[in-house]
Amino acid sequence: MIAVEFKNYDKTGIGREEVDQTANYLRRAWGRLALLCTNVEPGKSAHIRRNSIFSDDKKVILFITKADLSEMLDMKDRGEDPSDLIMDIYEAFLIQHE
> What are 7's strand-pairing partners?
38
CA 63, CA 51: separation in Å to the nearest integer? 12
Model confidence at 93, pLDDT cuts 50, 70, 90, reads: very high
Model pLDDT, residue 11: 72
Structural domains in the chain (count): 1
The model's confidence at residue 80, banded by pLDDT at 50, 70 and 90, is: very high
3-state secondary structure (DSSP) of residue 32: coil
Q: Which domain holds residue 84?
A: 3-97
- Of 23, 17, 28, 34, the closest CA to residue 56 belongs to 23
